[in-house]
Structure 1
């Protein structure tokens, strides 16, 4: 069977990581990652277009994932199965950080009576690794494993504040910010100024930049050596909780929780 011609991205990965790098595994994970809220059901051609791979390669990946139970199809459309959650479960079960943070956000949510979360930086996004909320639903669809662009989220800006200036500049040069709402900051200089400001004051407050009607405040969680390992936040409906109240009431609670959590981080 002839080898699949490597894309420029694949070639860069092989060059960077060497001959032990498994291209087949990487392509399979790219296929899984192609699915999302806007792409729950896709044809073979759809997946091939999203991952920028030949249809024959994608067909083999989907067939293998189907045999393993991670994908199902009606013969035309493909979708992920709940078994994919086992990948996240494995991470959560093997990572004491997640268990510690889950307990913390549950306590914070009960204290503030708002949705509270913890997230880490993953590439250009943040990923929720703990989440708790009151009985009313806020941010429908947001749960553990959910991803949000770092540039427009309070936890993202807190985590970006932990980067050195070289890495922060590389991030801002790399991304192409989109206005998710009329309030989203997309100007590079404005984003850099916001991240610097938030780094200095110890929290980030993002007002309706990721979702209209929703604002959130986040603080960094620093381990023993001062490095930011994750972020904590609390969010609320903009019509119900004013910005001033969020700073006055939410910030001290989140700051104190982060100070307690810090020594537990490794």
Structure 2
């Protein structure tokens, strides 16, 4: 008798490992507050039964990812091996890190690489001037895509209809008094950024910071990331972002296009 082929719904149901999903969800809950957390707090945050959360936590402890004093639980440095694996295996980081370093040195400002993750952007690499290590958006830092220059540069990959639908569903909370949240206004701004090939955001994501970004395209013209530079508003005027930073970013993005698969 021939074997019946499973339909797509059945395949999704049988191929899904619920315990792994719960474990990953529990790991993410550690970032919701500063410091160690109790079993009850973690179970509540992950929306899991207390007994289930307890088994997961002790499994993670056995794997070296979680430590406990018997009452409070905290992540161990071993968790960073997950992020390190992503960064080591990510082609974007390998190809663009030299670009970020070159751009940062030329402009004497921090440069960053970000990717789109749902409705957020995640910064996955950065370059800093050699003269001094300065603060900025660290690797792994997340921000809403709609109000950041890297986010708008990447959202430009969608056509107007898809972008309008995406913006309408997106959570759009103002981060500063200048943050644009109206979906029609955002659609017009992102469409304009798409046409000119860069995005400039002035104090919408952070109150005293402005930045400029360009999309990073792979060999087939698909946008896969964005690179940016920014500075405090009291130090670098808007026009300087365009006159001095934009050419460096554009050259950097173009230089890697043929290397990205």
Taking structure 2 as the reference length, the TM-score comes to 0.89
Take 2:206 and 2:200, find their aligned partners in 1: how far apart are those partners? 13
Is 2:143 aligned against 1:148?
yes
Deviations 1:127-179 (CA, angstroms, capped at 9, x unpaired): 1121122325233xx32222211112111111111123444233212222112
Is 2:258 aligned against 1:249?
no
Farther-moved stretch of structure 1 (161-170 vs 107-116)? 161-170
Q: 1:74 to 1:178 in 2, by over 3 A?
A: farther
Superposed displacement of residue 69, structure 1: 1.3
Match in the other structure for 1:232:
227
Superposed displacement of residue 99, structure 1: 1.2
Is 2:253 aligned against 1:258?
yes
Match in the other structure for 2:47:
52
Structure 1 unaligned blocks of 5 or more: 1-13
Q: 1:148 to 1:32 in 2, by over 3 A?
A: same
Contact 2:216 2:224 survives alignment (8 Å): yes
Match in the other structure for 2:5:
none
Q: 1:214 to 1:43 in 2, by over 3 A?
A: same
Contact 2:91 2:260 survives alignment (8 Å): no
Taking structure 1 as the reference length, the TM-score comes to 0.87
Aligned length, in residue pairs: 251
Structure 2 unaligned blocks of 5 or more: 1-8
| Regions of 4+ moved over 6 Å | none
Corresponding residue SS for 2:14: coil
- Larger C-alpha radius of gyration, 1 or 2? 2
Is 2:176 aligned against 1:176?
no
RMSD: 1.9
Match in the other structure for 1:97:
92
Match in the other structure for 2:83:
88
Contact 1:150 1:156 survives alignment (8 Å): yes
Take 1:24 and 1:90, find their aligned partners in 2: how far apart are those partners? 22
Match in the other structure for 1:119:
114
Q: 1:16 to 1:213 in 2, by over 3 A?
A: farther
Q: 1:229 to 1:70 in 2, by over 3 A?
A: same
Is 2:17 aligned against 1:18?
no
Corresponding residue SS for 1:35: helix
Corresponding residue SS for 1:18: helix
Match in the other structure for 2:4:
none
Match in the other structure for 1:66:
61
Match in the other structure for 1:137:
134
Contact 1:138 1:236 survives alignment (8 Å): no
Q: 1:216 to 1:18 in 2, by over 3 A?
A: same
Q: 1:28 to 1:166 in 2, by over 3 A?
A: farther
